[in-house]
Structure 1
Amino acid sequence: MISAEDEAERELRYRKVRAAMAEAGLDVLLAFGPGWRRENVRYLADAPVGASAAFVAVPGSGAPAAFTTRRQDVPVIAGSGWVTDVHFATPGRAEQLVEWLRGSGAKRVGVAHQELLPVVWAELLRKALPGAEFVSATSLMDDARMVKSDWELARMRRSAKVCAAGWQAFVNVLEPGLPEYRIVSAVEAEVKRLGAEDNFMLIASGKDEVRGMVPPGDRLLADGDMVRTELTPQMDGYWLQICRSAIVGRASDAQRRSFDLFNEAVEAGLSVVRPGITAHEVAVAQNDVFRRKGYGEYCTSQYTRVRGHGHGLHLDEAPIIEGNHTVLPENAVFIVHPNTFTPIAGYHVLGDPVRVTADGYEILVETERKLFETAKDAA
């Protein structure tokens, strides 16, 4: 039985999506979820799915329906109470999906993640509605998910607490001779103990030769290493990330100078956050710090990918990069992280996730932004 709180959230989402559908002239929206991009299916069904392909079909009015290539997903989706008309479907056994589409009489269909739709599914949809126009609704769903409700923010705050606990577990195990994979195993144990569904993590250890982060390996930590991570647990479907670096032992002067540079860049990025700011402007504010200090070349794609990114049901949403003029409205959630290589002390990782508030921002993690050191007498 769906709770009153969940029902209110479901109705809020469907009103938002249907208003966008009406504006775009869509009769039906098909939220497609391939195995690695299931956020739109979860947004509309509030259920985790494990299928290689799943759809939630939303008509302009009336009840939605869901279709999945994994039989085990059917009771999971139906059990959430958000979408109760749920069917098993594959390209070779899609009678109910075809029947639903034909029954809709749709003339214009928006497909979220149409760009990822396999040819076999695209052909099936066209045969089901041969006279219909199919268009991408990816940006429609991106926009719908951008502004977080109080219901969503409550879940993301739970993720924030797990971020803090995971980072503390990270720091607690650091010592010379420890292999990288043991660090990640300690973090995984802690975040899973706290209820995380998943955790995305990259890591790097070493000194100024480190140029990026990778999955953990068997490299052994040494005294004076800086150990960097992006730690991103998923709770109730929602991802949140913390970026920090720690020193095995005591930090060198170069590592401290590197931290000061990156912290100044984070502060610069945060200083411009307000409703209506663009991803471009947040990136420029961070990059300008590096440019003023003579490190502008390390803001390029040769050394770094983004200066942050959105958070939500997908772990890497709207990119915070120069040239992306996506507007960040109140209650958007994203991380500000100027992670990149510089010759000062190698690749450095630092960043905080924030919520855009009416007059600025709210940092969602409680972990202090500092250069952590494991030496007992370190400051």
Structure 2
Amino acid sequence: MTTDEQERDLRHRKVRDAMAETGLDLLLAFGPGWRRENVRYLSDARVTGSAAFVALPATGEASAYSTRRQDVAEIAGRGWVTDAHFLDPAEPGEFRTRLGDSRARRIGIAHYELLPSMLLDLVREALPAAEIVSATALLDQARLVKSEWELARMRRSAKVCAAGWQAFVDVLEPGLPEYRVVAAVEAEIKRLGAEDNFMLIASGKDEVRGMTPPSDRRLEDGDMVRTELTPQMDGYWLQICRSAVVGTASDAQKRSFDLFNEAVDAGMAVVKPGVTAHEVAVAQNDVFRRHGYGEYCTSQYTRVRGHGHGLHMDETPIIEGNHTVLPENSVFIIHPNTYTPIAGYHVLGDPVRVTADGCEVLVETERKLFQTNEVNA
């Protein structure tokens, strides 16, 4: 079994190898308030400040900085980066000095595109002669292949996905407001230790065209209730996409499920090491095209046909035109979620791991159109 220390060393070595290939003396993993995955990847610490950095030099010890004092103890206590400091934007002298002491000549900043100008100016002041480039793609690529240590955490997330979906189905009944469904899910997954949850929901019949946060709309008999349920466990997000019918499914709802299930199967059938996100998306979209629903694969009706999973909930997009290679042990969800006129917006999808000869489905929940008259019988 891989220890935490071995996992840390693996990650730092992987990133440093990529730094050497691109000529970086120093990598700054920047974590704004809503994109902290790179800071967590290098520190395994759950930070909550508005801005944080992990500074990884080509040689020597890493250091970390956060604008929230409580994060400093969290980072140091985790043990992956013990040299942790408070970054006071009003008095940033220590941050500037320590960066300057690195004497880095070429700096890569992951999430450079999200870095506020004030913080970028501090880096420039600390190392005025250094070249600064984006290292966002470098860390995206490093995080793409999951270690066994990471996969163990993601499998725990998968069990919480299944439990959350079961809680979703168990409460469905006519008259229940959408927010009560979400409350039941939140209670169950938090009981199981989820750090966070991203969840969308929609209910209705064939007029539903998308998914939103929960409203006070009350469920009616015959409604199809859809969700993307994405709990975070130990830092790792995993998603399940399912639809359920309040009562008994109509013929149209069953035909809709068959179409979407065929598309999920088609996406999974092409998965193998070296497949591209584009190819997985095309395989799904071709099912819709073959059945005469190709227009509903466009951006007018849908965003992606899936996306990567890991320390960020929405990584590599599975979309036509994205030729990112999906190597063995990458993890992503295949979900052809979109509107069609058959029965409205439909949600269906499973997270998978790329294996040596195909894919492993990470959730145990049956892929079917759930009907409450069956579940509650």
The question of whether the paired residues in 2 share the 8 Å contact of 1:165 and 1:191 is answered with: yes
- Tell me by how many angstroms 1:96 deviates: 2.1
- Tell me by how many angstroms 1:128 deviates: 0.6
Aligned length in residues: 377
Is residue 2:257 matched to residue 1:255?
Answer: no
- Tell me by how many angstroms 1:94 deviates: 1.8
**Residue of 318, 322, 328 corresponding to 1:320:** 318
Write the letter of the residue equivalent to 1:277. Answer: V
Q: Output one character per residue of 1:281-308: Cα deviation in whole Å (capped at 9) or x when no partner.
A: 0000000000000000000000000000
**Residue of 334, 337, 340 corresponding to 1:339:** 337
Mapping for residues 147-166 of structure 1, pairs under 5 Å: 147-166=145-164
Partner of 2:277: 279
Mapping for residues 1-379 of structure 1, pairs under 5 Å: 5-376=3-374
- Tell me by how many angstroms 1:377 deviates: 8.1
Cα separation, partners in 2 of 1:253 and 1:77, compared to 1, 3 Å: same
RMSD, aligned α-carbons: 1.1
The separation in 2 between residues aligned to 1:26 and 1:90, in whole angstroms, is: 26
The question of whether the paired residues in 2 share the 8 Å contact of 1:339 and 1:347 is answered with: yes
The separation in 1 between residues aligned to 2:314 and 2:2, in whole angstroms, is: 30
- Tell me by how many angstroms 1:324 deviates: 0.2
Q: Output one character per residue of 1:171-219: Cα deviation in whole Å (capped at 9) or x when no partner.
A: 0000000000000000000000000000100000000000000000000
TM-score by length of 2: 0.99
The separation in 2 between residues aligned to 1:149 and 1:140, in whole angstroms, is: 17
The question of whether the paired residues in 2 share the 8 Å contact of 1:91 and 1:124 is answered with: no
The question of whether the paired residues in 2 share the 8 Å contact of 1:180 and 1:217 is answered with: yes
The separation in 2 between residues aligned to 1:30 and 1:323, in whole angstroms, is: 30
The question of whether the paired residues in 1 share the 8 Å contact of 2:354 and 2:360 is answered with: yes
SS of residue matched to 2:155: helix
The question of whether the paired residues in 2 share the 8 Å contact of 1:226 and 1:247 is answered with: yes
SS of residue matched to 2:333: strand
Write the letter of the residue equivalent to 1:347. Answer: Y
The question of whether the paired residues in 1 share the 8 Å contact of 2:240 and 2:351 is answered with: yes
TM-score by length of 1: 0.98
Structure 1, gaps ≥5 residues long: none
The separation in 2 between residues aligned to 1:165 and 1:310, in whole angstroms, is: 21
SS of residue matched to 1:63: coil
- Tell me by how many angstroms 1:93 deviates: 2.0
Q: Output one character per residue of 1:344-368: Cα deviation in whole Å (capped at 9) or x when no partner.
A: 0000000000000011000000000
The question of whether the paired residues in 2 share the 8 Å contact of 1:239 and 1:314 is answered with: yes
The question of whether the paired residues in 2 share the 8 Å contact of 1:32 and 1:113 is answered with: yes
SS of residue matched to 2:339: coil
Write the letter of the residue equivalent to 2:194. Answer: A
The question of whether the paired residues in 2 share the 8 Å contact of 1:250 and 1:378 is answered with: no
